[in-house]
Structure 1
Amino acid sequence: MRALATVVRMISGLNAIVGNIFSWLSLGIVIICFTVVVQRYVFATSYVWMQDLYIWLNGAMFTAVSGFALMRGDHVRVDIFYRPASVRKKAMVDLIGSVLFLLPFCAVVYSYSMPAVLRAWSYTEGSANVGGMPGLYILKSFIIVFVVLLALQGIAMIARSILVLADREDLLPASQRYETEDNEGTA
């Protein structure tokens, strides 16, 4: 059981690091977008590569922080059923949802996107726009990053659920425990 708790800590730690780093891209996106707007409407000029840049940073950020969002519970969920559920029912829902939906989704996305990513790398694909940025193949690689981080967090959710269902939630760090009605405001 301690090994499962270690898996949860390691995967969640990885997603926390990646999420905290890549969330800073939002600041860059805002600054670049603001610059593009000022250039266009104040100076009547524009650079296609800058327009590509903030769109690409947006894609990189949202794909890289997906596992972090899942870890924090920031994803879409039917809260009218989940929130009032007991800790054990939440664990069961997460276990079943991860095994039946999340991991198969990740496998499908991986299998369909990998050929496109490999093809993009084979000819170092760049922007389709004239004057756009080179390196679209790097951005496309974030699809694989998305799948891997999301699948890893799904594995951490499965491990966490098993620990809860085995009455060993005490092995989890406080940040990885299920919230109950009593401690929702303290998390």
Structure 2
Amino acid sequence: MVKRPILALIHILESFTEWTGKLISWLTLFMVLVVVAVLVLRNIFGFSAIPLQESVTYMHGIVFMLGAAYTLKHSDHVRVDVFYHRFSHRKKALVDMVGFLILLLPVCIFLIVYSLDYVIFNWKIKEGSSQPGGLPYLYILKTLLLALPITLIIQGTAQFLHNLAYLLGWKPLPHGAEEDTATAPQVTGDKELHHG
């Protein structure tokens, strides 16, 4: 049956996004520690640590580019919501599915196609830092231009399948609805308590 493989695939894709998001979130702590170290070395010891300074840029790039899919998974992207919050779960699922097909997926494919030759060229020449003594791995950092759309496609596909599974009756709620119900205030219960 098709149901079981699709539900398993949703779990695998969303687990990948969750795992990578939690893993790279630790880089924010390391960024703070490295920035403090750079400031101490520069202002107290008069030592300019270029590799450390550049490592902050690398970590920031990784957090921003690879954290986008994790942010998408938890519906934390900035959203101009005029009508969406009033929609039923079914309409929200349909809107999210259409949004993936006509917005997210084409933009991600465009980014991959547009960046692929550039990233390959940088790997061929092994581009490094323009600063003396800087990190020699700029080509790896530029690979994030491909990692961003790929991870977004992975999470977008998971959400698309999750919503499809909901519409087919295989899941009780569409993607993101669990978080909405968990964080929503229990107004009905309070009213019943006051009237009871």
Instruction: Answer whether TM exceeds 0.5 for this pair.
Output: yes
User: Could you say which residue in structure 2 is the equivalent of 1:78?
Assistant: 80
Q: 1:155 to 1:20 in 2, by over 3 A?
A: same
The residue type equivalent to 2:11 in the other structure is: R
User: Could you say which residue in structure 2 is the equivalent of 1:123?
Assistant: 125
Residue 181 of structure 1, CA deviation: 5.8
Residue 165 of structure 1, CA deviation: 1.9
User: Could you say which residue in structure 2 is the equivalent of 1:132?
Assistant: 134
User: Could you say which residue in structure 2 is the equivalent of 1:24?
Assistant: 26
Residue 179 of structure 1, CA deviation: 4.0
Residue 78 of structure 1, CA deviation: 2.2
User: Could you say which residue in structure 1 is the equivalent of 2:177?
Assistant: 178
1:21-59 CA-to-partner distances (Å, cap 9, x unmatched) read: 111111111111111122222333212111111011110
The structure with higher relative contact order (CA 8 Å, sep 6+) is: 1
Larger Cα-atom Rg: 2
The residue type equivalent to 1:184 in the other structure is: T
Query: How far apart are the structure 2 equivalents of 1:181 and 1:85?
Result: 13
Structure 1: segments with no counterpart, 5+ residues? none
The residue type equivalent to 1:128 in the other structure is: S
User: Could you say which residue in structure 2 is the equivalent of 1:164?
Assistant: 166
- TM-score norm. by structure 2 comes to 0.85
Aligned 8 A contact 2:75 2:176 in 1? no
The CA RMSD measured in Å over matched residues stands at 2.1
User: Could you say which residue in structure 1 is the equivalent of 2:191?
Assistant: none
Deviates more, 1:7-16 or 1:137-146: 137-146
1:106-142 CA-to-partner distances (Å, cap 9, x unmatched) read: 1000011111111111011111222211111111112
Aligned 8 A contact 1:126 1:134 in 2? yes
- TM-score norm. by structure 1 comes to 0.88
Deviates more, 1:140-149 or 1:38-47: 38-47
Structure 2: segments with no counterpart, 5+ residues? 186-196
Query: How far apart are the structure 2 equivalents of 1:180 and 1:60?
Result: 26
Q: 1:96 to 1:25 in 2, by over 3 A?
A: same
SS at match of 1:153: helix
User: Could you say which residue in structure 1 is the equivalent of 2:188?
Assistant: none
User: Could you say which residue in structure 1 is the equivalent of 2:93?
Assistant: 91
Residue 182 of structure 1, CA deviation: 4.4
